[in-house]
């Protein structure tokens, strides 16, 4: 089955700096990679996703990159703000599959 690894487990950045979270996956058939943000006391919320036919996707201050050959994908947050502080999860799945495989989460703290 699929194995998703996520690094780092914790990340602290100064407000205004960039944050990068990296994930690797093992199943070359995986073709859909969503990222979730979980704020304290809430459920994970989808923030951005990317499909395997795309190398990069941006949405304002967040972007995701995908390297299919190396089987890794990354979340980039620029100009971080205190409200970006949360736990972030990457995930991998495939269209023909029946479940999502989640990374172990990254706790991001943005220091004002």
Partner 1 sequence: DTAVSQTPKYLVTQMGNDKSIKCEQNLGHDTMYWYKQDSKKFLKIMFSYNNKELIINETVPNRFSPKSPDKAHLNLHINSLELGDSAVYFCASSRNFGSAGNTIYFGEGSWLTVV
- List contacts with partner 1 (CB under 8 A): 32, 34, 36, 38, 41-46, 49, 51, 87, 89, 91, 93, 95-100, 102, 104-105, 107
CA distance 1 to 91: 13
Beta carbons of 35 and 102 less than 8 angstroms apart: no
DSSP state of 2: -
Smallest separation (angstroms) from partner 1 to the CB of 16: 26
Smallest separation (angstroms) from partner 1 to the CB of 71: 20
Residue positions counted in the chain = 112
Smallest separation (angstroms) from partner 1 to the CB of 49: 7
């Amino acid at each position: 089955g699929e194995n998703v690894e996520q690094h780092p487990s914790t990340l602290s950045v100064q407000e205004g700096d960039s944050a990068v979270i990296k994930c690797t996956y093992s199943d070359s058939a995986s073709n859909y990679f969503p990222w979730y943000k979980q704020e304290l006391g809430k459920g994970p919320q989808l923030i951005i996703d990317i499909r395997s036919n795309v190398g990069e996707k941006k949405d304002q201050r967040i972007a995701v990159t995908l390297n299919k050959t190396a089987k890794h994908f990354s979340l980039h947050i620029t100009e971080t703000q205190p409200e970006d502080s949360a736990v972030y999860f990457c995930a991998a799945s495939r269209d023909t599959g029946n479940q999502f495989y989640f990374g172990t989460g990254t706790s991001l703290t943005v220091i004002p």
